Every structure is written in structure tokens, then in C-alpha cells.
Amino acid sequence: MGERKGVNKYYPPDFNPEKHGSLNRYHKSHPLRERARKLSQGILIIRFEMPYNIWCDGCKNHIGMGVRYNAEKKKVGNYYTTPIYRFRMKCHLCINYIEMQTDPANCDYVIVSGAQRKEERWDMADNEQVLTTEHEKKQKLETDAMFRLEHGEADRSTLKKALPTLSHIQEAQSAWKDDFALNSMLRKRFREKKKALQEEEERDQALQAKANLAIPLVPETEDDRRLAALLKFHTLDSYEDKQKLKRTEIIGRSWFSSASGPSSSSKAGSVLKKLAQNRKSAPAGSPITVGDLGIVRRQSREILESPQHVTETPKSEEPQVSECTTQDWPTYPQDCSQETAKTPKTRGPQGQDGSCQERPRSSSGTSQEVRGAPAIALVGCLSLAVELQAGAGGPGLAALVAFVRDALNFLVTARPTAVNMARAACDLADAAAQEAEREGATEKAVRERVICYAEDMLEKDLRDNRSIGDLGAHHLLARVSPAGSKVTVLTHCNTGALATAGYGTALGVIRSLHNLGRLKHAFCTETRPYNQGARLTAFELVYEQIPATLITDSMAAAAMAHRDVSAVVVGADRVVANGDTANKVGTYQLAIAAKYHGIPFYVAAPSSSCDLHLETGQQIVIEERPGQELTDVNGVRIAAPGIGVWNPAFDVTPHDLITGGIITELGVFAPSELRAALSTTIS
């Protein structure tokens, strides 16, 4: 049944030959099916094969000879009794239609429209071929003796010129007389060449594996051999040599970008010098001194008994308590008494019931040998690297990892408000643990992993600072000075090269503005009570020859009102998920004054200072410093004895006061955008 349907011999049950006549009439279809859909117009659909190469006028593409199309064939005339047919087809590369028709007069096809012929007809005269004799010349050769003589000389001359070519053709043809011999010779050459290529490829692969090359090799020449004979190779530097070279480079690097100016010692550089000395292990059980880590480890009892931890009070007097109402201090404690061994709780903003919400608080009795959140993290990790290089920790992998983790946990307590040290400690401890869990791990490998990680932190912090400076400068200019004029910036505390690995965060933005030639002036606050602005920021600005003015903290609002301040840029010790920012105390009041005067307020900090685990600033632990920083100057008391002292090192600026944005090495974000922007980058 299927075969009959395929050859159109199936007759349905209701087929009547007298009524239908044929199957085509029964199916009401033409025998040519779709090919005859335009037959009423005299057009038949056929398969047309391109007779020669053409260029399409629509897409300018080449269409080769032999390409087949569904074409409409139509008779358009006659040449004598020979019909002339026209073929219309659509280019398969565009919407252009091509029309061609037969040319019986020249036994050819001609293009009517839609394309151009690619001329490649063979011209025997142009290709120096012997022309065939035409019919007229044949008759003249038979009747004209002189013409026959002249033509014969020309033919002999042409034959003489063509003889070498003809001989070469005959020789090439004769080589194919013995197919077996020629085929054997070709196969032998192929095998020899293939073997040579395989050997060359194996040599190249061996050389690439030995030299660790990822590029293809070119064939060797005589010049290459001669040049290679003149070269002398030496062994590569060992890993230890490279590490020593890298540490020497870091130690010798200046904190500042300027080539001139007073010299400055690097705290991180001094720690790295100890790394380079490769000291011997300290004796077992020997106490760790200031020279080992750059800090003194104290027990809690020692801290409580430290004279720096308690404010001097006459023996005859009881500690005075200064009562602070919630109206005067809405975000700070009512208990502003002197610092004692007992750590009070710090109160936050009022709750709905009028009671004060408690904010975590930490008292610190340590002296600030190193300050600045990024610098504390760097020097802390490098100090641990010094101990490991000296042989501390162990014996055994478990003991070594425990030593690393305990040391890092202790370092975090140096400045709990800043998140950088805590994050670096977590990452460094995990790196040491992962290296220890690796198969075949050794104590040397764990120590080297920690040291390299600390050195990489130093390099990354410098790169991040430069990105923060450049991104912040361009964002600030686009907002406050799109016309190209210069800007005036106010900053607080020290956020420059002395607080980081180099260049700085907020001060890095000022540096970048100065390098762009767009900084008019910079104002830096003295930053009481530790005077980081007067002692450090002012020093860096003078060193870099940046036009700047030092003001007291209480002059900031007046400067905004009368000194044409364009923007305020500060650093950060911790930025939480909603954008609340903990920074040097005094930052909060700068943000309030900036918002009142309509001045953009920016926070510049690396992503390592952002803590997405804390939702609001109320959860940030605020470090409190010894009272002597307020009451004493150079060891001389200037405050009335018995006065209560409250000396928080930081305050928290609410996110809605950060009107300019938070500048990180990844970009400038509004506080509301920070969580989404950093959620995939930091943990």
C-alpha cells in the first residue's frame, strides 16, 4: 500500500474513472504539484543551476557556479525558432532577486538584473597559447602560397617557443604510465615526512614541558642555532631568594608618593626587617617581650592595675560623677565618671519608653604604638610573622596552628572597634589551618604560608588605597564640580600613608585630587585628644606639598560656613550593613554640620573595614581610652583634680548623614546600596 501511494498508483475506494478521469482530477491537483502554482501566468517552478560565478547586487556576496535555486521559468521570446527563457530567483544571502535569461545566439546565459557576472573567460592570446586556425585562414592557406609560407614560419617559431613547455607536460604525463611505482614512491615520502613531523612534535612538547611554555614553537633555523650558541643560561632564583628580594623592596619603599621631603620610618617596614634577619628560635618558655611583637602582652589583672588605666584622684576625694541628661547626650552614657577597673556600660539612643539602649563598650589601656585600622591589621599580622620566623609555636602542626590562632585572638583585642584586624585574623587563622590539613604538610610550610599571606596583605592594601583615592576623587568632582573648577575638602583624624600600607583612604582622595590639579585647599582638624590630625595628617600634607590649613575640631562648622568647603571626606574603622559608620570621635558632629550646610559627606574605607554581620551601629563595640589623654599634656595635669572624664575613641555616624557616599576600592555606593554591593565580595 505504501509503495502504491509513493508512485501515485493508489486508488481510493470512492474513485470513479468515468467521473474523475484521473487521480490528479480526483485530488484536484496538478501533476507537477507546487511547481505549477503559477502555471496560469505562464511560470513554471524549476531547479536552476548557476552557470557561472556572479556577484549579488543586494549583499555584494559571491555566488559560485553550480549553486542551485528554486527559480521561476518563463518564456519571454524567440531567437528564430529557439525559445528564450527567463529565470527569476531569490538570493539565499539577502532579499535581492536575480534574473537571468538564455542567449541562443551566443549559446550562453546573460544577466538581466540583480547581479553582475564575474569575468573569468579564458583568452588564449593573453595566456600565450597557440591560436586555432579559423576557417577563412584555412582557405587562404590552401590558395595563397606566400601566405602559407609566412604562416608556416610563424607556426614554427611558435612551436619552438612552446617546445620546452610541451616537453615538460609530456614528461609529467609519462610519469603516470606506471601507477604502482609512482604510488609507492609517494607513500614512502609520506611515511618519512610523517615520521619526521612526529619526532619534531615530540621534541617540541618535551621542550615546552621543560620550560613551562604555553606558546607554540616555530621551526628552528640556522640563525637560531648560531644565536643559541652565544647564550649562557643560569639557574632560576630559589623561592627563598625571591622572598628576600620582595621583603627588601617592601622595606625600602617610602610611605609617601613624593620623592622629596623629610624621611619617615615605616612601622611595617621595621617589622619586615625582622623577617629578613631570619633569627633563630627563641628558647622554650621565654617570655614574649616588646621587641618580639612591638606590643606588650598583659594579663587582665595587669591591665586593671596599670597606672595608665585609672585617672588620678586625690586619696581624700571620692571619684566625682558628672550627671549627663538624655536631652544633652541622646546617644551616650549618663554615667560619665572617671574610668576605673570596673567597665561601665555605654548607653545608646533612647528607646520608645524613654530608657536608654545599651551599647557595647570596651576599655583600653594600651598605648598607641600603631594606629589606623588598616595599619593595625597589617602590623599585627606581620608581627605574628616575625614570631613564626623566629621559631615560635609548636612543636607539631596542632600546637603551631593553636599558637597562631591564640596570638591572633589576642591581637584583635588591641582595637575591637576596627573590624580590619578581626577579619585579617580570621582569614590568617583559616589559611594556617588549611595548610596544616594538607597532605604532607610541615611546620615550615605552615609558617611560610602565614608569612606570605601577611606580605600579600601589605601589597593588596596599597592597591586598594590607590583605587579608593581615584574613585573617590572622580565621584566627588562629578558631583560638586562638574564645570572643572577646583574644590576644597575637609578631613578628620589621620587616614593617610601613616594609617595604611601607603597612600591612604580619605587622605588618598585628597592626594588624587591634588595629582589631578583639581584641589584648591584642604582643611584638617587637630583631632583631640590624641591630635592625630595635627601630628600626622598635617605632616603628610606638608610632605606632599598640598595646600592645607590646620583647624581645631570646634572650628569645623565655621570653616564650612565661611571657607567654601566643597566636601567632607573621612575614614572609617568599621562600616556596618546599613551604612552606619564608626570612626574617630568627632566624625558624628562633622556629619551633622555638613548636612546642615548642604555639603556632601563621604566615608572612604576599604571593603575590609565593612562588617555586614552587624545590622546597625548600635552593635559596634566602642573603645574607650584612658582619661589621662584629656587631663594630661606631656605628663603635666591641666585639668582640675577630681573631674570626671569620658574619653571614647570613636563615635558612630548614622547612615542618613552620609550624603556623599561610601568610597571603597570596588566603587562609590550609597549606604543603602552597600549590603548588595559587597555581599558577594566579603563575608
- Residues designated as active site: 573
Long-range own/partner contacts, residues 590-597 (CB < 8 A, 24 or more apart): 590/490, 590/492, 590/525, 590/556, 591/653, 591/654, 591/657, 591/658, 592/657, 593/556, 593/557, 593/560, 594/560, 594/568, 594/657, 594/659, 595/657, 595/659, 596/557, 597/557, 597/560, 597/561, 597/565
Strand 487-491 and strand 519-525: the pairing is parallel
Say how far residue 486 (Cα) sits from the centre of its chain.
31
396 Ramachandran zone, left/alpha/beta (phi>0; psi -120 to 50): left
Residue 201 · residue 219 · CB < 8 Å: no
Residue 492 · residue 586 · CB < 8 Å: yes
Which residue's entry shows cell 631568594?
A: 241
Residue 650 · residue 580 · CB < 8 Å: no
Residue 647 · residue 630 · CB < 8 Å: yes
Q: Which residues contact 211 (CB under 8 A, 6 or more apart)?
A: none
Which residue's entry shows cell 504539484?
A: 33
How deeply is 368 buried, as exposed, middle or buried, from its count of CB atoms within 10 A (0-12, 13-18, 19+)? middle
Angle at 332 between CA 327 and CA 333, to 5 degrees: 95
Identify whether 529 is preceded by a cis peptide bond (ω within 30 of 0). yes
CA torsion sign, 170 to 173 to 176 to 181? positive
Residue 472 · residue 509 · CB < 8 Å: yes
Question: 253-282 burial, b if ≥16 CB within 10 A, otherwise e?
Answer: bebbbeeeeeeeebbbbebbebbeeeeeee
How many residues are there in the chain? 683
CB atoms within 10 A of CB 324: 16
Q: What residues are paired with 602 via a beta bridge?
A: 569, 661
Residue whose C-alpha is closest to residue 521's, from 466, 562, 474: 562
Say how far residue 331 (Cα) sits from the centre of its chain.
41
- Residue 605 phi, psi (nearest 5): -160, 145
Residue whose C-alpha is closest to residue 113's, from 132, 99, 124, 123: 99
3-class secondary structure for 123-175? CCCCCCCCCCCCHHHHHHHHHCHHHHHHHHHHHHHHHHHHHHHHHHHHHHHHC
Quick one: CA torsion of 368, 390, 400, 424, rounded to 10 degrees?
40
Give CA–CA dist 619/349, Å, rounded: 12
Residue 291 · residue 301 · CB < 8 Å: no
Give CA–CA dist 588/594, Å, rounded: 10
